[in-house]
Structure 1
Amino acid sequence: MALQLASADNFLYFTADIAFWVHCGSSDKVPDIESMWDIARTGITHRAEEVSTQYRLIATERVRAELNVVLGPWRPVGQSPVQARGRCFSVTADPELVAAVAEHERSKSQQLVISWDEQRRQQQRRQMCSLLLNPLQATAWWLLDNPDKVSEVLEVAKTFQEVQNILEPATTPSESAGKLVDELLTTKDEALRAGAIHTLKKFFLSYGREDLAAQLQVFDDQACDTARQRTGSPTSPDKA
């Protein structure tokens, strides 16, 4: 009997040549002979697809071998009194579909290799960047690869040091935390400056740095002077 069995590839099927046997135990509800064969065929198909759906269309021989393991023993079919067993003689699939699935597998394998290669290259780039900015490690790696060239170590180390001097400034951030704070404290935006002073004071005081909080008073006084100049208010009680 030829059975169409689903594969792991959606909508693609194996064709399995399976012989099966059926018998019915003692029961008051023995079905007629045609129903017995239908029940047995259904049970065999379900058991077979438990195997076939685990494999892609290219694995026909593997499926055949697995089916003979699964279908060999007598087993009851559902809640019926019918038992069935089977033997698979061959499993085939459409050659064009098998070729398409095989090509898809090759494509996936190639993409995986490309992905691994790219990850390896990225790791090598990170390692190289780290070495170029660390002359000691770079020289050590060079010496490991060239143990017979100890006399050249000094020259190599100087070269790596020069490379670091060229590359490191480009990796140094152009902004620093101190510069950003300075800009906040000297900004012409009075509301922004006042908010920055207030926040910094609270921060310093929370860590017990009254000395740093006191230094902010200079900026606070400057802000007050600026405000008085704009409003025409006197700068001291004596001028009131």
Structure 2
Amino acid sequence: MRPRRYARSVRNSMIVGEWEPHTCAEVEFTLPSADDRLHFDVSVSVEARWGGVGPLPPSLLDIAREGMARRAEQVSAQRALTASERLRGELNTALFRWERVAATDVHARGRCVSVDVDEELVAAVEMREQAQRRHVAMSWRDQQRRHDQERMCAVLLDPLRATASWFLDNQDKPEQVATIARSFQEARNVLAPEQQQDSAGKLVDELLGTADEAMRDHLVGTLGKAFARYGRQDLVTRLETPREDEARE
């Protein structure tokens, strides 16, 4: 029977009362949960109706029960064992409508009467969930600490930034800036790696040492623009100072 014709026949039979009297029974289901190998014990009141031609089949309730089980499993598998109260409401929502069971002419709906769980297992799941939450929180704290450490390393190896950071919090103590700067310079000398591999800065230094003045001036100008673009006017000033000294000489 085509879908439209079938739907029309269902509507007509409901209007004129051609449905066979429905059968109702309370059945027990063992439904899976989102927790591996743990399950819900669920009691469902199942209603079944026969919408086909011919007498009421003896297996009407069995077919309806199978249809209810499949619909209920799709819902319960999404919930942890600790969500039994919420599961009851979700099952009642999912099972409320009359629906055809597979390719049969049996229609079924249901009402969740109760959801039972093993309290000891629920307590174990709650402990596991708490442990997982603590683990996530500790992971976030560790990530933040590593980030802070990396930022602090960068500051300690740059006396100018370190001094500026200190002065932001101590602007009423300008007379101490020079002393603080020297302290950070000493710390940098102690903390800086003794031997470093080639870096971008070292390679630029080598290029700046070339005898080709045109290339040197072009590179210095390019670096100055890059520093200015990223808001490092202090580096622009430091870059231009040697050139001004050379010009005076």
Query: Is this a same-fold pair by TM over 0.5?
Result: yes
Residue 5 of structure 2 is matched in structure 1 by: none
Residue 26 of structure 1 is matched in structure 2 by: 52
1:54 to 69, 73, 78: 78
Deviations 1:193-231 (A, max 9, x none): xxxxxxxxxxxxxxxxxxxxxxxxxxxxxxxxxxxxxxx
Residue 146 of structure 1: how far off its partner (Å) = 3.6
Residue 69 of structure 1 is matched in structure 2 by: 93
Deviations 1:24-50 (A, max 9, x none): 113248522xx1111111111110110
Instruction: State how 1:133-144 maps to structure 2 within 5 Å.
Output: 133-144=157-168
Does the residue aligned with 1:121 lie in a helix, a strand or coil? helix
Deviations 1:50-107 (A, max 9, x none): 0000111111011111111100111111111001111113212100000111111111
Code of the aligned partner of 1:143: F
- 75 and 144 in structure 1: CA distance in 2 versus 1, 3 angstrom threshold: farther
TM-score (norm 1): 0.66
Contact 2:52 2:106 (8 Å CA) reproduced: no
Runs of at least 5 residues in structure 2 that lack an aligned partner in the other structure: 1-26, 200-249
Tell me the C-alpha RMSD between the 2 structures: 2.0
Contact 1:51 1:67 (8 Å CA) reproduced: yes
Separation (CA, whole Å) in 1 of partners of 2:114 and 2:53: 35
Instruction: State how 1:92-107 maps to structure 2 within 5 Å.
Output: 92-107=116-131
1:172 to 192, 195, 218: 195
Residue 39 of structure 1 is matched in structure 2 by: 63
- 86 and 164 in structure 1: CA distance in 2 versus 1, 3 angstrom threshold: same
Residue 158 of structure 1 is matched in structure 2 by: 182
Residue 142 of structure 1: how far off its partner (Å) = 2.1
Code of the aligned partner of 2:162: A
Residue 145 of structure 1: how far off its partner (Å) = 3.4
Matched length: 173
- 142 and 176 in structure 1: CA distance in 2 versus 1, 3 angstrom threshold: closer
Residue 145 of structure 1 is matched in structure 2 by: 169
Contact 1:29 1:81 (8 Å CA) reproduced: no
1:120 to 144, 147, 171: 144
Separation (CA, whole Å) in 1 of partners of 2:169 and 2:65: 68
- 119 and 31 in structure 1: CA distance in 2 versus 1, 3 angstrom threshold: same
Larger radius of gyration: 1
Q: State percent identity of aligned pairs.
A: 42
Deviations 1:103-153 (A, max 9, x none): 111111111112111111111111111111011221222233344444433
- 146 and 55 in structure 1: CA distance in 2 versus 1, 3 angstrom threshold: farther
Does the residue aligned with 1:78 lie in a helix, a strand or coil? coil
Residue 13 of structure 1 is matched in structure 2 by: 39
Code of the aligned partner of 1:163: A
Contact 2:68 2:109 (8 Å CA) reproduced: yes
Separation (CA, whole Å) in 2 of partners of 1:75 and 1:147: 75
Separation (CA, whole Å) in 1 of partners of 2:66 and 2:130: 36
Runs of at least 5 residues in structure 1 that lack an aligned partner in the other structure: 178-240
Separation (CA, whole Å) in 1 of partners of 2:86 and 2:28: 18
Residue 208 of structure 1 is matched in structure 2 by: none
Contact 2:72 2:94 (8 Å CA) reproduced: yes
Separation (CA, whole Å) in 1 of partners of 2:51 and 2:118: 39
Contact 2:163 2:180 (8 Å CA) reproduced: yes
Residue 22 of structure 1: how far off its partner (Å) = 0.9
- 53 and 160 in structure 1: CA distance in 2 versus 1, 3 angstrom threshold: same
